[in-house]
Structure 1
Amino acid sequence: MQPFVINGHGRMVFPSNFLPELDFTLLDDLDQLGAVIHRDFEAKAPSGTEILRRIEAGDHYATRYDVLRDVALNLFWSNRFTMTMYEKRPTRWRDVPRRRDDVFLPVLTPWVDADRKVAAVRDVYASLPAAWEGDAEDRIFDVLFDVLRHRRFHAAELPAVKPTVAQALADPTSLTYRLTSYDPDHPVYDHRRILDCAEDVPELEALHRWAMVLHDQYPWDRAATTLAPVGDLRDDDYVVVLHPRNRDVLDFVRRVTRDGRPAARRRIADHPPARTRPPVRPYPPLRVRERFAVLPRIEALTVVRGEHLCTNDDLIRNSAYSWSPMSAQEIVDKTGIESRVYTERPLEDLALEAAQAALRHAGREPEEIGAVLFCTCTSTKLMPSTSTWLSGQLGMQQTHSSCDVVAACAGLPYGLAEATRLLQEVERPVLLVCGEKFSDKIGTGRPARMIFGDAAAAIVIAPAGPGEQTDVEVLQTYASGPVEEVNSIIWPNPDFDGNVTVLGPDVRALAGRYLQQMIDELRDQSDPDGRAPTLLESIDLVVPHQANKTMVLKLAAAAGLAADRLFFNIETVGNTSAASIPLALADAKARGALTGPMRIFAPGFGAGAVGGYAVLRVDPAVIAPERV
């Protein structure tokens, strides 16, 4: 599934948010599948009985949209296993194979109180005011209600693994679908029409897509559908036969239904965590002038950002059925983000463009570079590593070192620390590239979708000449902590279909711990130039990793940092992890916050409970203009 597409109206669409597709190679057993299904389909969805209770209570639904949303969630829940595991194929009963283990029949229980529940939905919808656009809401209601009123089965107890035809026939009283007629050309919404769905109100556009997908779950005349005992079926009756959606689903079904199946793979999460203990002594910050003979100078900094803007309205118009209601303004209030940037290009292309621009701006040739470092946590290129691939693409026949550094949102401090150490050995420029592409690794997880974006940056770090001062003044890196903080951001996460997941409370805990430690260290350090009582007081501007503006401002205030000392660009680009600090530095120049050589405190913290900071002297002249 593509992470996003641009539809016929020029709008961004996330197909995975309304066309569920699970990776069954990551699931070991029915318990794991049940947990995924519960999270994605059940946690937010009311049952028919719950909808009826809410209607009869008379105080739950304020607008028609509220009813529409609950009905849609209920119908996704009702189809939770069929739409993720099986294809529905109406077939004449005489043509249904009886002995195959890859053909299944839905065995169903009649929906309890169906007429009362359907009538209650119809009546309450008619009695309520429109939320935004009455005509659009009526069109959506017509599609959803047609599915609801022809639903025949009770959804509270449904097995994931359906019986084979032989198993269903073993009990002739088992009920399954019988279609009194079937037209293979029954109208459905094709994929392009679903993608091109457009409504003026983002919430209604998402709901309209849901309705079309749910309509397509029953590609036959629903009024001609009854439940019939399998023992009463006649040769010319049509039944709905279930076929696994793909080979992985069939393998999963066979794996969980046969005796003697292989033991489940041991998962990383199964390992019990050790008790955390502090190091035998603290790790002091590295004062570069005092620790290193070869001092680093920044010759160039370039950035390349994703070419597509994904606004908060885009998120809302792509709301997944697993998301709680949230408005565009609520996303701003929660994260400080109004939009993020995505790219259709490979991460390597962004990184290469940034690297080429950095060499040009520094006036350096590839053969002058002694090492290439690539800091990322989203690269899918393992062999060759992205850094070695970049070295080759740039025309470098040999480097002293080309390697990838996986330090997530602390990528820049980690990269600068490694670059500074390499300078001592090679005494020639080091090319440091930081890049991330999250847009194709998020799936249906809303916290990650709200926060992350795509970008790359490159920095040329060269040995300072005789008498020149260093631009990298203090370096510090950390890693680890309580296991819940170490695992607070995970990719790939088997429990979320291999996608990125963010566990907010644990992220806040690690960020708060590290930021307080960083501030305390700056207070304890002297100003290298002796112009201020402490290193903290000598800082001109704080450019943090752009994690979550709302969270970082609260943590900074708790640590004693005033908001007017911090620079953010997260509101327009999102969190680009390792690339976020360089991207923010470029925007600080563009917005007039960086007007001359300034001392910058650049902290970062994130996945793996990594953290670190750099105290830099940044001259805006080293920041190259972005390509338009």
Structure 2
Amino acid sequence: MNAFVLNRHGRMVFPSNVMPELDFSTVETLEQLDSVIRRDFETKAPSGTEILERVRTGAYATRYDLMRDLALNLFWANRFSITMYDKRPTRWGDLPRTRPDVFLPVLEPWEDGEAKVSGVQEAYPQLPSRWDGACEDRIFEVLFDVFANRRHHASTLPAVKPTVAEFLEQPGALTFRLPHYDPDYPVYDYADILDVSEDVPELEALHRWAMVLHNQYPWERSQVELASADQLRDDDWVVAFHPRDKEVRGFLRRLRAGEVPRQVAGPRESRPPVRPYPELDVRRRFAVQPRLEALAAVHGDQVCGNDDLIRNTAYNWSPMSAEEIRSKTGIEQREYSSLPLEELALQAAEAALDKAGRQPEEIGGVLVCTCTSSRLIPSLATYLCGQLGMHQVYAAYDLIAACAGMPYGVADAVRLLQEVERPVLVVCVEKFSDKIGNVRTSRMIFGDGAAGLVIGPAPEGTDGDVDYLKTYASGPASEVNSILWPNPEFDNNITVFGPQVKALAGRYLSQMIDELGRLPAPDGRDGSLMDAIDLIVPHQANKTMVIGLAEKAGLTADQLYFNIEQVGNTSSASIPLAISDAVRDGVITEPLRVFAPGFGAGAVAGYAVLRVDPAVVAVEGMAGRSQHEEGQLPAPAGDTGSASEGMREAFG
């Protein structure tokens, strides 16, 4: 898990963004490793030759631009040593000659290294500073000290280093030689790196990069030479490479044993179903009508703004400003939780039960909708039963429907009601902040949060709160696999393939709008079900993308409610969180018919058309009390007018 931490300044830091730690437990081949290495280190890193060419052609506009390229080059030059090995300076006379787990790097002299170093040295003072000259000078001093004392060419470095015995069998092979070694050579402590604080977010990130790179060479760098075995004396020091952990050792063993991973057959071409699946007309289909007794949201307790992302820019990210993130996603901040997923779920469950006035023993079933739980046994749903003191329920299980979790959960709860005729607790909960790693797309979008819903039987002879339900799943394999976790190709972090996600979201949203346009309005009203919708609360995926897709489907932006600007994408929790915030913000001030569509990972989708009464929503700070009783919201009116008029009034 790659969690965030708060440094002594109270700022959020993502250690995995600057301290590379690849997960080798699932890496099976050099090709797999090469894919990760190229993505993380090589794709955006310029070579020394390219840096020199940019210097000579005046391609650098500011000192920051030059320093950023230096840092990227140095991360690339350390791409294997920094991720796979611990460097341990050792006297040549003391170095084991036959151990299979002690390696020596074979290095080639850096071609035109002096010209590249002098070119950078001369160019830097001639460039203007970007933000803060004094700060940039301090960072450059650290970076240039590493860059200027590089001795080896980076292009030909192999992932698997030769053992000492293999090194000795290569005549003329060169490795590092240190004439002396000081074990107390100053390096930056972990806390030093976390506690970096600069006024400019981009410089704070670059400063951390520089400190990590400095620590890769904890010796007097100006004295380092490249030497062959016949030039080494017993009192010379060499840099021995040791596998950094048992996962790297296992990976190296698999390579040496020549293990071949099992080949997986490719997907078949997807075909549409033989006939469409009908929408579920809840009032006609079921005897026990569902009533939304309570909805309670739990937000993350730590705010991660766009500036925080820039402060934590990883070495594999393209340059992007906080404003560009907002423009691309519609997100200004996302909320993270310092609590574990289980605790988030428990808080949401307790708040929902409290708002509904229900005791645990009254609950007939518990459903948890999540795609970020690492708990398999027991399921999160059964764990909640135990924590809440439920001695027995009819059913408790987890649903992995990602961003369609809320529609899936409500649909299953309605079906369970028919059998148990007692309330069902549905908890939608996600914690992405510790599963994102250094993948920028995911880091920009996802947040943490939870919501609990109590869906009980409506009094006999009365209408329930759910009109229609519909769920969907699957599509082309490219869409099914458009969001992955864990993903070995991205170091087992959550990864999002944007074009495929946009394709599945557009496909489903268009289908849903078309289906609602063909269904009759409820209660004998004129027009279609779509005409009867008062408010659309979509899954909060990416505001810019969803608005674009909605407009293509014939909707307007003022028909949709978003809270993604402040909380990010919380997958299964996003719709109930947004409904809660719509009540808090005064957008829902009386019972409204809400269309809640969700779509996402696994090419799943679904929607619920339901009545939301703000009186059953536990707004933070008012849990367990009716908003109307508190005087926070106006009492429900009789006729609210047309749907479009209501939405225009709500959104101004």
Q: What is the TM-score normalised by the length of structure 1?
A: 0.98
Residue equivalent to 1:241: 240
Map 1:211-610 onto structure 2 (within 5 A): 211-258=210-257, 261-266=258-263, 270-610=264-604
2:332 & 2:229 partners in 1: Cα distance? 55
1:125 & 1:466 partners in 2: Cα distance? 79
Computed over aligned residues only, the root mean square deviation of the Cα atoms, in angstroms, reads: 1.1
Residue equivalent to 2:174: 175
Q: Tell me, yes or no, if the aligned pair for 1:169 and 1:231 is still in contact at 8 Å.
A: no
- CA offsets, 1:183-235, max 9 Å, x none? 11110001000000111001000000000000000000001101111111011
- CA offsets, 1:57-82, max 9 Å, x none? 22x21111110100000000000000
Shift of 1:262: 2.9
1:175 & 1:442 partners in 2: Cα distance? 39
Q: Tell me, yes or no, if the aligned pair for 2:2 and 2:435 is still in contact at 8 Å.
A: no
Residue equivalent to 1:9: 9
**1:262 counterpart letter in structure 2:** E
Q: Tell me, yes or no, if the aligned pair for 2:447 and 2:568 is still in contact at 8 Å.
A: yes
Moved more, 138-147 or 226-235: 226-235
- CA offsets, 1:65-122, max 9 Å, x none? 1101000000000000000111111111111111111111111100000011111111
Shift of 1:164: 0.9
2:577 & 2:126 partners in 1: Cα distance? 52
Shift of 1:2: 4.5
1:550 & 1:559 partners in 2: Cα distance? 15
2:123 & 2:586 partners in 1: Cα distance? 55
**2:612 counterpart letter in structure 1:** V
Map 1:148-163 onto structure 2 (within 5 A): 148-163=147-162
3-state SS of paired residue (1:557): helix
- CA offsets, 1:281-303, max 9 Å, x none? 11111111111111000010001
Moved more, 460-469 or 249-258: 249-258
Residue equivalent to 2:642: none
Unpaired runs of at least 5, structure 1: none
Shift of 1:532: 3.6
- CA offsets, 1:449-470, max 9 Å, x none? 1111111100111111123221
Q: Tell me, yes or no, if the aligned pair for 1:350 and 1:456 is still in contact at 8 Å.
A: yes
Shift of 1:495: 1.4
3-state SS of paired residue (1:608): coil
Shift of 1:397: 1.1
Q: Tell me, yes or no, if the aligned pair for 1:409 and 1:606 is still in contact at 8 Å.
A: yes
Work out whether 1:35 is the aligned partner of 2:47. no
Shift of 1:171: 2.6
**1:626 counterpart letter in structure 2:** E
**1:335 counterpart letter in structure 2:** T
1:6 & 1:525 partners in 2: Cα distance? 51
**2:56 counterpart letter in structure 1:** E
Q: Tell me, yes or no, if the aligned pair for 1:28 and 1:265 is still in contact at 8 Å.
A: no
Shift of 1:627: 4.8
3-state SS of paired residue (1:40): helix
Residue equivalent to 1:50: 50
Map 1:117-128 onto structure 2 (within 5 A): 117-128=116-127
3-state SS of paired residue (1:17): helix
Residue equivalent to 1:71: 70
**2:259 counterpart letter in structure 1:** P
Q: What is the TM-score normalised by the length of structure 2?
A: 0.94
**2:596 counterpart letter in structure 1:** A
2:617 & 2:283 partners in 1: Cα distance? 23
Q: Tell me, yes or no, if the aligned pair for 2:32 and 2:488 is still in contact at 8 Å.
A: no
2:237 & 2:460 partners in 1: Cα distance? 87
Shift of 1:431: 0.6
- CA offsets, 1:473-499, max 9 Å, x none? 110100000110000001111211211
**1:560 counterpart letter in structure 2:** G
- CA offsets, 1:257-310, max 9 Å, x none? 34xx332144xxx33111111111111111111111110000100011111001
Q: Tell me, yes or no, if the aligned pair for 2:2 and 2:437 is still in contact at 8 Å.
A: no
Shift of 1:592: 1.1
- CA offsets, 1:536-569, max 9 Å, x none? 1111111001000000000000001110110000
Q: Tell me, yes or no, if the aligned pair for 2:486 and 2:492 is still in contact at 8 Å.
A: yes
Q: Tell me, yes or no, if the aligned pair for 1:528 and 1:535 is still in contact at 8 Å.
A: yes
Moved more, 548-557 or 227-236: 227-236
3-state SS of paired residue (1:499): coil
Unpaired runs of at least 5, structure 2: 623-652
Moved more, 505-514 or 378-387: 378-387
2:487 & 2:603 partners in 1: Cα distance? 16
Residue equivalent to 2:650: none
Residue equivalent to 2:627: none
2:527 & 2:582 partners in 1: Cα distance? 26
1:627 & 1:319 partners in 2: Cα distance? 35
Residue equivalent to 1:614: 608
Q: Tell me, yes or no, if the aligned pair for 1:76 and 1:214 is still in contact at 8 Å.
A: yes
**1:22 counterpart letter in structure 2:** L
1:179 & 1:601 partners in 2: Cα distance? 69
Shift of 1:172: 3.8
3-state SS of paired residue (1:330): helix
Residue equivalent to 1:87: 86
Map 1:100-119 onto structure 2 (within 5 A): 100-119=99-118
2:2 & 2:159 partners in 1: Cα distance? 26
